[in-house]
Amino acid sequence: MSDKPSLVRRTPWPASATRPVATPLQPSAVYAARDPDMLDDHYEGRIKGYAYAREAHPNADILAQKIDQMEGVSGGTMTSSGMSAVLASLMSHLKPGDHVVAADQLYGQTLKLLTNDLPRLGISYTLADPTNADAVAQAITPKTRAIMAEVVSNPTIRVADMRGISDIAHQNNLLLIVDNTFTTPYGFQPFDMGADIVVHSVTKLLAGHSDATLGYVVAKDRDLNEEIKRLAITWGLNASPYDCWMAERGLYSFDLRYERAQTNAATLADHLSTQTGVRRVLYPTRADHPDHNRAVDLLNGHGGHMVSFEIDGGRAEANALVRAMPNIAFAPTLGDIGTTLSHPPSSSHRRLSAEVRAKLGISEGFFRVSVGIEDPDLLCHEFGAALQRCFG
């Protein structure tokens, strides 16, 4: 009995002169050190290594380095979701009494955080139209500390005046926080445009397969970036190794997926615009887009993978169109490798009153498409046939 090794003692990782090509998944929540001196060395930064997964783990570090590379920075932090990245981007520097100017068409939960939760902590906000830099400037008060913006809005695909907003942020000594989820580093480089903090929902196009929930946040300033890291550890915003591992796998094909999805989106937008029953199509690089010139300037020709369109009629027609496309996932997300269709008035924008939705241009016939990498002919055929069935 006594010389039999205990079953619960870990068997050492097998030695190998060769190395794995694929990144190993490291789920260990904790790491063993040789002795207390080694822990001192670790926590005082004299050696490199890991101690506890909430503080850091290899799968998060590898993924963060890859996204750092895409954004042209270093030291980014992986978080448990896009929303925890948004939270870290705000709570790393705001305190009671501070004020934030935020774009009025931000991601719904970000708006909820700003309008519901931060006021309870004494942090106030003003929402402003980000396509109008003067409106953003007018929203600034002596207590304003930050401006939060997305480059392309959901679901109306409006393009923010990022040059104007960036100038205003710097003239007023404010931090500019950019959520680059929709545009991705391929479509827009926030740090070149004067951003101070960049956040991503990695759940979307970066991971790209709807099987990982993750966020990423990074600040240009070293001290602020350290504060973000500290906050993520203390508030438990850390990312799971498994999700980081899945997202890293997805990221290897990001460039190819993005290119293909973007070409498909432009093709689908043009095709939809020729269909009976389609009232309007919103795609940034189309000449009829309200922010066409700004899109060409800011996005460098990258229209992205999101297309919105509006059909004639109301809820009955919307139901009929979705039912006529059983092969297109009707799901309120974006960035999957396959095309997904969403209906903002019954999902992301359901809490708004019909009047507010109407002001934003989101009728019951409004749809948003996150275009995937399918054969473009198949995609155009599916949408065309469904519209024909409803309106032909």
Q: Which is nearer to ligand PLP, 181 or 342 (CB)?
A: 181
- 267 Cβ partners below 8 Å, 6+ apart? 376, 379, 380
Question: Is residue 179 near ligand PLP by the rule CB under 6 A?
Answer: yes
Asked if 81 is part of the footprint of ligand PLP (rule: CB under 6 A), the reply reads yes
CB nearer to ligand PLP: pick between 166 and 210? 210
Q: By CB under 6 A, is residue 181 in contact with ligand PLP?
A: yes
150 touches ligand PLP (CB under 6 A): yes
DSSP 41-68: HHHTTSS---SBTTT--HHHHHHHHHHH
> In the complex with ligand PLP, which residue's Cβ is closer, 140 or 239?
239
Q: Which is nearer to ligand PLP, 197 or 390 (CB)?
A: 197
CB of residue 228 vs ligand PLP: minimum separation in angstroms? Answer: 16
Among 58, 82, 303, 344, the residue binding ligand PLP under the rule CB under 6 A is 82
Q: Are 272 and 325 in contact (CB under 8 A)?
A: no
User: Which span (2-10, 78-86, 228-236, 288-296) binds ligand PLP, by CB under 6 A?
Assistant: 78-86
Q: Does 203 bind ligand PLP (CB under 6 A)?
A: yes
243 binds ligand PLP (CB under 6 A): no
Place of tokens 């050696």: 47
- Sign for the pseudo-dihedral over CA of 289, 294, 298, 300: positive
Contacting residue, 100, 107, 169, 373, with ligand PLP by CB under 6 A: 107
Which one of 28-36, 133-141, 199-207, 321-329 is the stretch in contact with ligand PLP (CB under 6 A)? 199-207
Q: Reply yes or no: is the peptide bond before residue 155 cis, omega within 30 of 0.
A: yes
Q: Using CA atoms, how far apart are residues 140 and 13, in angstroms rounded to an integer?
A: 57
DSSP result, 323-375: HT-TTSEE-S----SS-EEE-GGGTTTTTS-HHHHHHHT--TTEEEEE--SS-
Smallest gap from residue 80 Cβ to ligand PLP (A):
8
Q: Which of 200, 182, 190, 202 is nearest to 308 (CA)?
A: 182
From 25-33, 179-187, 340-348, 375-383, span contacting ligand PLP (CB under 6 A): 179-187
- Tell me the closest approach of the beta carbon of residue 288 to ligand PLP, in angstroms: 24
Contact status: 204 vs ligand PLP (CB under 6 A): yes
Number of residue whose CB is nearest ligand PLP: 82
- Smaller CB distance to ligand PLP: residue 166 or 213? 213
d(CA 41, CA 46): 5
Please report the beta strands in the chain, taking only residues with DSSP state E, as ranges in sequence order: 77-79, 99-103, 124-128, 144-150, 175-179, 197-201, 215-219, 278-282, 306-311, 329-330, 340-342, 366-370
Contact 117, 243 (CB under 8 A): no
Total residues at interface with ligand PLP (CB under 6 A): 15
220 scored as a contact of ligand PLP (CB under 6 A): no
Q: Which is nearer to ligand PLP, 156 or 319 (CB)?
A: 156
Contact between 182 and ligand PLP per CB under 6 A? yes
How far CA 133 is from CA of 112, 159, 178, in Å, comes to 23, 12, 15
Q: Where does this chain bind ligand PLP (CB under 6 A)?
A: 81-83, 86, 107, 110, 150, 179, 181-182, 201, 203-204, 213, 215
